[in-house]
Amino acid sequence: MKVPVILIGESSDALTALRKQLEREPDFLVDGKIHSCDDAFQSLKAKAGPVLVIVDLSQNPERAFDTAQEVKFKLHNVHLLMTSPDSRPETILRAMRSGAEEFLTQPLHWPDVLNSLHTIRKKITIQHAKPSEQGRIITVFSSKGGVGTTTVATNLAVALAADKRTSVCLVDLVLQFGSVTSFLNLEASYTIVDFVKNLKRIDPLFLDGSLVKHMSGVRVLAEPFHAEDAARIETADIDQTLEALLQAFKCIVIDTPKEFDETTFVALDKAHLILLVTEMDVPSLKSAHRALELFDRMGIYQKKIRLILNRYVKSKYMSLESVEQTLGVKVFWALPNDYPTAIAALNQGLPILDTEAKSEIAKSYWGLANVVAERLHSSAEPQTDLESKKAGILGRWIPSLVAVRKGEL
């Protein structure tokens, strides 16, 4: 497939020369127009498939960085390259943090340029391979703390990994105070901070070294050692981390914080399946209801959301049906309430499945893993937002997120 290329920059000689070279390349389809920062976003919004975008920083770097970030953050189909005569480490670092996959120093050396373009083209080919060849992301989320999100994420990951054909990576995106390693009694030597630092050189060997291996076979991408390091991880880093893991694992399970920030948003947006965890009390249900409303406003594809009712007990005051009525969604799975088993497993750093294999809760987790696996591999599986949403919804990302931060949504 020919990969479309869009050039962005203000009256740039480097881009004009680049366009001429690209016109001769059989694997790339360069847009005849060099776009200014002002019209770049509108032109890109109309493009549906993967597109390679080269942004020239040489004329007005601040404006170019803003444009690049906007494009990269709002449009998931964009693969970004940046070019500049300024090749100071801080400029290159800033480019990478803005989501650039490659940096081209000016004056441009055509063989290097071609090399970079082909590297990205290969990535695009892998990422757009048939769905069955790609990994799947399951994001476990709750807008209320303490309802069992981490318990669900860890136990589900372990149960999914029991099928040895399914490679599973469990990602702790609770970046400040994650607890996945405690739940599984793991000692991490590397964390997501190291992973992000080395995103450029990810290969099977590096992956093997930077993920902690649990005896179940689950690989864990651990939370940062220090809470303050969370701030060093940017949204684009999370996006690229998940992309890299998708190439290596069949299944990625993500534990998320209850806060709906950019990090959580990427995890929800990229998910093939969202497990929204709630308990059966009024505050939890109210919170779940608000989360569902927020998902809707943020354009998160409704059909990929599944409701998990944790600590379910039969009660004459509240039934499964009444929960479904209140929330307007079906309960996908109800996990029974068994605090002694859950807390004993937690305090030993073991999955519930290993401590009390015969308990109702362990059986329930096996059942959940089965239906999740079925759902992920069925042809009617939910789509990612990218595949399903209209450009108009994607365009609402940034304003909506800003509004969330301001408390307007």
Ligand X SMILES: Nc1ncnc2c1ncn2[C@@H]1O[C@H](COP(=O)(O)OP(=O)(O)OP(=O)(O)O)[C@@H](O)[C@H]1O
Q: To the nearest whole angstrom, how small is the minimum distance from the Cβ of residue 266 to Mg ion?
A: 18
**Closer to ligand X by Cβ: residue 143 or 191:** 143
Q: How far is the CB of 346 from ligand X (least distance, A)?
A: 5
User: What tokens does 264 get?
Assistant: 């959580």
Contact segment (CB under 5 A) with Mg ion among 132-140, 146-154, 322-330, 337-345 equals 146-154
Selected from 135, 148, 224, 382, the binder of ligand X by CB under 6 A is: 148
275 φ, ψ (degrees, to nearest 5): -100, 110
The answer to whether 312 touches 339, Cβ cutoff 8 Å, is no
CB-CB neighbours of 72 under 10 Å? 21
Residue 16's SS3 state is: helix
CA–CA distance, 111 with 100 (Å, rounded to integer) = 19
Binder to Mg ion among 69, 116, 142, 150 (CB under 5 A)? 150
CA distance 39 to 137: 34
Q: Show contacts with ligand X in window 300-319 (CB under 6 A).
A: 310-311
Quick check: 337 binds ligand X (CB under 6 A)? Answer: yes
Tell me, what amino acid is at 398?
A: I
Write each residue from 43 to 72 as x if it is in contact with Mg ion (CB under 5 A), else as -, in one continuous string. ------------------------------
Among residues 335, 362, 369, 404, which is the contact residue for ligand X, using CB under 6 A?
335
364 part of the interface to Mg ion, by CB under 5 A: no
Distances (CA, A) of 221 to 175, 188, 228, 270: 11, 9, 18, 17
Q: Where are the beta strands (DSSP E) in 251-298?
A: 251-255, 273-278
| Minimum CB distance to ligand X smaller for 305 or for 309 | 309
CB of 38 to ligand X, least distance (A): 44
Q: Which does 91 bind (CB under 5 to 8 A by kind): ligand X, Mg ion, none?
A: none
Select 269 or 338, whichever has its Cβ closest to ligand X: 338
Cβ-in-10-Å burial (0-12, 13-18, 19+) of 311 comes to buried
Assigned token pair, 176:
């400040």
Size of residue set near ligand X by CB under 6 A: 19
* Cα torsion 312, 314, 316, 318: sign: positive
Length of the chain: 409
Residue 161 to residue 11: CA distance in whole angstroms: 54
361 interacts with ligand X by CB under 6 A: yes
Q: Which is nearer to ligand X, 146 or 399 (CB)?
A: 146
Q: Where does residue 77 rank: exposed (0-12), middle (13-18), buried (19+ CB within 10 A)? A: middle
Of 107-115, 223-231, 336-344, 384-392, the segment contacting ligand X by CB under 6 A is 336-344
Task: Considering the complex, state which of residue 3 and residue 361 has its C-beta at the smaller distance from ligand X.
Answer: 361
Strands (E), 257-388: 273-278, 305-312, 331-336
Query: Using CB distances below 5 to 8 A depending on partner kind, what does residue 342 bind out of ligand X, Mg ion, none?
Result: ligand X
- Quickly tell me which residue has 């149960």 as its tokens: 159
209 binds ligand X (CB under 6 A): no
Question: Which residues within the stretch 88-127 sit at the binding site for ligand X (CB under 6 A)?
Answer: none
Residues 245-264 that bind ligand X (CB under 6 A): 258
Mapped onto helix, strand or coil, the DSSP state of residue 260 is coil
Number of chain residues interacting with Mg ion (CB under 5 A): 2
Helix axes 397-406, 262-270, angle to 10 degrees: 140
Q: Kindly tell me which of 134 and 176 has the beta carbon lying closer to ligand X.
A: 176
Out of 69, 143, 149, 241, the only residue in the binding site for ligand X (CB under 6 A) is 149
The C-alpha torsion from 306 through 313 and 153 to 138, rounded to 10°, is -10
Q: At what angle do helices 61-74 and 37-45 cross, to 10 degrees?
A: 10
Residue nearest to ligand X (CB): 145
- Which residues are within 8 A (CB) of 221 and not within 5 positions of it... i.e. 6 or more apart? 169, 170, 171, 172, 191, 192, 195, 210, 211, 241, 245
Among 124, 169, 342, 353, binds ligand X (CB under 6 A): 342
Residue 146 interacting with ligand X (CB under 6 A): yes
Q: How far is the CB of 35 from ligand X (least distance, A)?
A: 44
Residue of 142, 241, 256, 264 that binds ligand X (CB under 6 A):
142
Nearer to Mg ion, 147 or 372 (CB): 147
Nearer to Mg ion, 7 or 192 (CB): 192
Site residues (CB under 5 A) for Mg ion? Answer: 149-150
Site residues (CB under 6 A) for ligand X? Answer: 142, 145-151, 258, 310-311, 335, 337-339, 342-343, 346, 361
